[in-house]
Amino acid sequence: MKSMSTNEVDISVIMATYNPSWDKCRFTLDSIIEQSGVNFELIITDDGSSENLFDRIDEYLKSKDFSNYRLVGNKTNQGTVKNYYSGILYAKGKYLKLISPGDALFNETTLAKWMNFLSESGKTWSFGNSVFISGGENNEVVEVPALPRVIDCYTSMKEDTCRWNYVVLEDVALGAAILCERQIFAEYLEKFVGTVLFAEDVAFSAMMFNGYVPAYYDETVMFYEFGSGVSTGEKKWLERIHKDWRMAEKIIVSAEDCDKLQLKMKKALLSVNSGSDTKKKISRNLQKGGVKKVIKHRLSPRMSVVDVSYCGKWWNNKGKS
């Protein structure tokens, strides 16, 4: 482990890697180290890769005169949740930004403006808009349905609806496009360490279950690589993520001393997770407001951002050496 963390920080940016490609790492690193107007640290935590690229990352960051970083190497592969959590244990910032190689912050002022918005909102976490990219050699922008599909409940601050949609209907925010207070996220993620392996975003569902509703930041904050990796990759990974979410729901519904809305959410989750897969799917869609939302947002979904005319200068390089 190498440590070069100095000064107090506003945001801890944690980049979690596992057998990463250098092009993707460089693309992501460039977007981070160019951030201005905010004090931040960078923590790179690796999940037992055969080649973690730490020497190359170390050399590259030094060549860019960036010193406020730490390299955390885990000896064995234990999954994304444990990998991020191991990095969080070293974090010092008030806020936390998780990121993966191949993704990138949108422009040079993203963290500063986003942090100011979140601080002024009085909320513990926030989600923004994303540009989805294809990755690979061309790394082109692709237009896909945005997450969450329904945002009017956030703009009108109908918090019970936000919570129901997020927890029961699984209309979740894109994990890569979230900024959160470090202490609260660490507290919730710890509940799933050792049980949930790859879906660190379940911590936000648990937070929503307990009433921590986010602020919607109506600005573009991320480039998100779509169609690869754990979240949007091969079928086997999607099935594994699905299993993680079901395991997480068991932990969430085990909560005691629930208010009326929590009791309704618990009942709904227990209902949709009983019986055959077909019954579960139908049951989830038949929850309060489910049918209307499924029909409306599948026929005319909110789409992801495609305008990159004012993005960071690293976009033209696209992570190429």
Confidence of residue 3 (pLDDT cuts 50, 70, 90): very low
43: in domain: yes
> In terms of Cα–Cα distance, which of 141, 154, 186, 178 is closest to 309?
141
Question: Per residue in 231-285, pLDDT tens?
Answer: 544 566 678 888 999 899 999 999 999 999 999 999 888 877 655 454 455 455 5
What's the domain range around 33?
Answer: 2-307
66-75 CB burial, b ≥16 within 10 A, e <16: eebbbbbbbe
Confidence of residue 289 (pLDDT cuts 50, 70, 90): low
**How high is the pLDDT of residue 270?**
86
Helices 80-88 + 182-190 axis angle, to 10: 140
**How high is the pLDDT of residue 2?**
42
- If you ran DSSP here, which 8-state letter would residue 176 be given? G
316: in domain: no
Structure tokens, 273: 């997770």
d(CA 269, CA 245): 11
318: in domain: no
Q: How far is CA 274 from CA 113, 117, 159, in A?
A: 44, 41, 27
Q: Which residues contact 61 (CB under 8 A, 6 or more apart)?
A: 29, 33, 42, 67, 69
d(CA 269, CA 208): 14
33: in domain: yes
**How high is the pLDDT of residue 1?**
39
> In terms of Cα–Cα distance, which of 316, 102, 107, 320 is closest to 227?
102
For residues 304 and 129, the answer to whether their CB atoms sit within 8 Å is: yes
pTM above 0.85, yes or no: yes
Total domains in the chain come to 1
Once rounded to an integer, what is the mean pLDDT over residues 224-228? 84
pLDDT over 70, % of the chain: 85
**How high is the pLDDT of residue 239?**
82
**How high is the pLDDT of residue 284?**
54
CATH number of the domain that 274 lies in? 3.90.550.10
164: in domain: yes
Question: Per residue in 48-100, pLDDT tens?
Answer: 999 999 999 999 999 999 999 999 999 999 999 999 999 999 999 999 999 99
Q: Which residues contact 260 (CB under 8 A, 6 or more apart)?
A: none
Q: What are phi and psi of 195, to 5 degrees?
A: -115, -50
**How high is the pLDDT of residue 112?**
98
